[in-house]
Structure 1
Amino acid sequence: MSTLRIPVGSHDHVTGNPEASIVLVEYGDYQCPWCGQAFPVVQRLLARHGRDVAFAFRHFPLTEAHPEAYNAAVVAEYAGAQGHFWQAHRALFENQDALGPELYAELIQSLGLDVTGLQQALDTDAFDARIRNDMEGGIRSGVNGTPSFFLNGQRFDTGDDFGTLLDAVEQLLQSR
């Protein structure tokens, strides 16, 4: 079984309870249809158990299969640099079928952020190191597709049933 090689830390985007004993990490891609299917399950998990779970999202854009995945990650990072990562994260998944420059501009404007700044970030690869660090950490941890989940540092394979993730967290909570 694969283990998470880069522990969750201050470099991560974390929601839920950062001090929780249950830590869920997802390596994901905003254009991946499976990540899109996992998104509402993770949202339900956090709605039910957000006080008991820390959730970190790490970028793993599969650009050969998903040409907008990298730019969507930049959008999330640009918003995140200004305190709006999770709002952008949600909007990107909720509008997964419309990923592209028009959506990115609308999203950034809706957050009250500068669209010109986003374009500069895209043009200058401003968040390339951040995204590549996530990807390299994923590769070191055995990630070869998305979504890839790690529950308390251990790879958790959901197969086609993302509900097993919710079940596993609930079992961990009951065993405490």
Structure 2
Amino acid sequence: MTAALNAILVPDEATDHILGPADSSITLVEYGDFECPSCAQAHPAVKIMLNHFGRQVRFVFRHFPLREVHPHAEMAAEAAEAAGAQGKFWPFHDLLFTHQHRLGEAHLRDYALQVGLDMARFENEMRDHVYLQRVQEQMQGAAALRVRATPTFYLDGAFVDVSFGLANLQQAIEHAIAKR
């Protein structure tokens, strides 16, 4: 992978949503879509893995809404960014995956209420598409990496194929930790 493509995978504290300490030995980046059934299936498994590996793994979630097949995914990503601006990205992220089949505007409002967002701010930011550019920038980064499907994972800059299940991801993490 070229240096420019590798740079895309470096977490940015200012714009990325990150779980785990900055000094973790391993960085896992996921490009996901809130309306993607495979992402919803991967979500609980990723949470279990992150809990299992603890402070050894830093996790970054980035948006790659597949607009052609998931008509609500981009708006859900914008809503997650609006929640993130109020410090509630992760609880909102979890609600979106839990209620993946209900991602219309009214549902997103309900989720915003559930996580305790300032609703006037949330509604204004959604109406004005304040975070659409950030979502689209993450999509452009994914396109530069040739991401085609979701979820797509990169472990320390290397693509991890999960098309046959997440066991491969867990093995890749275990292997990376063993090498350190």
* TM-score bin (small chain): over 0.9
| Unaligned runs of at least 5 residues, structure 2 | none
Aligned pairs for 1:144-163 (under 5 A) are 144-163=148-167
What CA distance in whole angstroms lies between the structure 1 residues aligned with 2:54 and 2:140?
A: 28
Q: 2:111 matched to 1:107?
A: yes
Of 96, 109, 115, 2:100 maps to 96
| C-alpha contact (below 8 Å) 2:160/2:168 kept by paired residues | no
Of 9, 12, 19, 2:12 maps to 9
Equivalent residue, structure 1, for 2:169: 165
Aligned pairs for 1:22-171 (under 5 A) are 22-171=26-175
Highest RCO, 1 vs 2 (Cα 8 Å, sep ≥ 6): 1
What CA distance in whole angstroms lies between the structure 2 residues aligned with 1:5 and 1:132?
A: 17
TM-score using structure 2 length: 0.91
User: How much is the aligned-residue C-alpha RMSD, in angstroms?
Assistant: 1.6
Secondary structure at the aligned position of 1:58 is classed as strand
| C-alpha contact (below 8 Å) 1:24/1:149 kept by paired residues | yes
TM-score using structure 1 length: 0.93
What CA distance in whole angstroms lies between the structure 1 residues aligned with 2:75 and 2:126?
A: 7
Identity over the aligned pairs, expressed in percent? Answer: 39
What CA distance in whole angstroms lies between the structure 2 residues aligned with 1:30 and 1:101?
A: 14
| Equivalent residues, number | 176
Offset, 1:118: 2.4
Which amino acid in the other structure matches residue 97 of structure 1?
A: H
